[in-house]
Copies of this chain bind each other. A is one copy, B any other.
Amino acid sequence: MVDVLPTIVSVPGFKVAGVHCGLKKNGALDFALVFSDAPCTAAGVFTTNRVQAAPVLVDMERLKATPDRIRAVAINAGCANACTGQQGIDNALQTARWVAEYTGCGEDEVLVMSTGVIGTQLPMDKIKRGVELAAGALGENHWEAAARAIMTTDTRPKMASAALTAANGQPYQIAGIAKGAGMIAPNMATMLGLVVTNARFPAPLQPLLHAAAEQSFNRIVVDGDMSTNDTVLLLSNGQSGALETPVGQYPDAVRAVSRKLALDIVRDGEGATKFISILVTGAPDEAAARLIANTIATSSLVKTAFFGSDANWGRIVAAAGRSGVPVNPDQLRLWLFPGETTTGTEGGLLLFENGMPTAYREEQAGDIMRLPSVSIRLDCGAGDGAALVWTCDLSAEYVAINADYRS
């Protein structure tokens, strides 16, 4: 197990900055730059939305062409650069060109990410100023500024890091930042995330990042919507001298940092008042378990019941029933747990079995539902398939945030 810290001190070999260049109206940080002292091996996981933002298209191409010499990642908030046509592509490329100019790397060694409103062009005068300011502010200890600069409706920055020792005895660091809050759906990376490490890993990073995302960013649901910009990048530059092996802690560390960031996103879900863990067991297979868990996690009726601290288990059972998996209601068993208990039945309150509610006391269920962290386990009694998904409740605040987002 890898111990993950909720902050980032530094990852020697990487410099970062978070600055304000006028993209956010309120003077908050809105442009981040991460720069590596040496070429990085890099990997990316991107939105599966058919409508992909310009920075997604640019990064996918660059990671295909030059995955072994990425030097910088520039991230702006305030504008998603999505649905912006050829001009959007040109603007993403120009952003990278400026980064190359101001930092002295090659322009095809720069990746870009954008987040914010869809359908407006990047204000390039502000972007240029952002690149200039950020290049001048690069330092090893500015991770929090960078994490703040990529926030949109997030209420707090999301960071994670870990310090490890490689197979060759050298210490190294791994760190990540992320943004998210709404438009968080259960399939594929559903936000912006960047994970960097100064270790070197002797195998392709793409499958490793994909596996980590499968266990983290792809297991969270806020509202079921999927963005045009979702991207997670992994950069590995080997500057610590640490050389890992495929069986070392490196894959675990990437997964653990990704998971911490993913859970932070759910905890900071738009308007969220509750953190909810949904474990489905006993399904025909893992895909079926995941489908059931995601159907429960995206149900507006389930989410509003959690907001109301109402143990309305009927909505959970009904969501499982419409998931498309042929569940047998007489075989279902549903438990409610306080906190983040994710396996077993101990400490759980059995609400439903044999096609009927148990004789549980409604007050006891209510006491659990009022906690800020609640778990459910639904066992389908039909196999060994299991899946764990994290979500949050649906509050009136979510509606207010999203009704007024562009104003």
Give me the interface of A with B, judged by CB distance under 8 Å. Answer: 48-52, 80, 82-85, 87-88, 117-120, 182-183, 185, 187, 223-228, 298-301, 304-305, 307-308, 310, 312-315, 317-322, 325-330, 332, 352, 354-357, 394-396, 398-400, 402-407
Task: Verify A405–B85 contact, CB threshold 8 A.
Answer: no
Chain A interface mostly: loop
User: With A226-B322, A322-B226 in contact, do A402 and B300 touch (Cβ < 8 Å)?
Assistant: yes
Q: Which residues of the other chain, B, contact A48 by a CB distance below 8 angstroms?
A: 322
* A356 interface neighbour in B85, B310, B321, Cβ under 8 Å: B85
User: With A118-B314, A118-B317 in contact, do A300 and B223 touch (Cβ < 8 Å)?
Assistant: yes
Task: Verify A322–B399 contact, CB threshold 8 A.
Answer: no
Task: Verify B50–A83 contact, CB threshold 8 A.
Answer: no
Instruction: Give the Cβ gap from A151 to chain B, nearest Cβ, in Å.
Output: 18
Copies of the polypeptide in the assembly: 2
* A329 interface neighbour in B51, B313, B320, B406, Cβ under 8 Å: B51
3 interchain residue pairs of minimum CB distance:
A118-B314, A308-B403, A51-B321
Most B-side CB within 10 Å, residue of A52, A307, A317, A325: A317
CA A372 to CA B365, docked complex, whole Å: 40
What residue in chain B is nearest A87 (Cβ atoms)? B356
* A228 interface neighbour in B226, B321, B352, Cβ under 8 Å: B321
Task: Verify A223–B301 contact, CB threshold 8 A.
Answer: yes
Task: Verify A406–B118 contact, CB threshold 8 A.
Answer: no
Task: Verify A403–B310 contact, CB threshold 8 A.
Answer: yes
Q: Which residues of the other chain, B, contact A185 by a CB distance below 8 angstroms?
A: 322
CA A88 to CA B357, docked complex, whole Å: 12
CA A7 to CA B204, docked complex, whole Å: 68
Instruction: Give the Cβ gap from A153 to chain B, nearest Cβ, in Å.
Output: 11
Instruction: Give the Cβ gap from A185 to chain B, nearest Cβ, in Å.
Output: 7
Q: Which residues of the other chain, B, contact A182 by a CB distance below 8 angstroms?
A: 301
Task: Verify A318–B118 contact, CB threshold 8 A.
Answer: yes
User: With A223-B301, A329-B51 in contact, do A310 and B407 touch (Cβ < 8 Å)?
Assistant: yes
Most B-side CB within 10 Å, residue of A225, A326, A354: A225
Task: Verify B225–A403 contact, CB threshold 8 A.
Answer: no
Most B-side CB within 10 Å, residue of A223, A317, A394, A403: A403
CA A126 to CA B307, docked complex, whole Å: 32
Task: Verify A83–B356 contact, CB threshold 8 A.
Answer: yes
Q: Which residues of the other chain, B, contact A224 by a CB distance below 8 angstroms?
A: 298-300
Instruction: Give the Cβ gap from A220 to chain B, nearest Cβ, in Å.
Output: 15
Task: Verify A83–B317 contact, CB threshold 8 A.
Answer: yes
What are 20 of the A-B contact pairs (CB < 8 Å)? A48-B322, A51-B332, A82-B318, A85-B330, A118-B318, A183-B301, A183-B318, A223-B301, A225-B299, A225-B301, A228-B314, A228-B321, A300-B402, A304-B402, A304-B403, A305-B403, A305-B405, A312-B406, A395-B399, A399-B399
Task: Verify B308–A402 contact, CB threshold 8 A.
Answer: yes
User: With A84-B356, A225-B300, A308-B407 in contact, do A118 and B315 touch (Cβ < 8 Å)?
Assistant: yes
Q: Which residues of the other chain, B, contact A310 by a CB distance below 8 angstroms?
A: 403-407
Instruction: Give the Cβ gap from A248 to chain B, nearest Cβ, in Å.
Output: 36
Task: Verify A312–B50 contact, CB threshold 8 A.
Answer: no
Q: Which residues of the other chain, B, contact A327 by a CB distance below 8 angstroms?
A: 50-51
Task: Verify B399–A318 contact, CB threshold 8 A.
Answer: no
Most B-side CB within 10 Å, residue of A183, A321, A396: A321
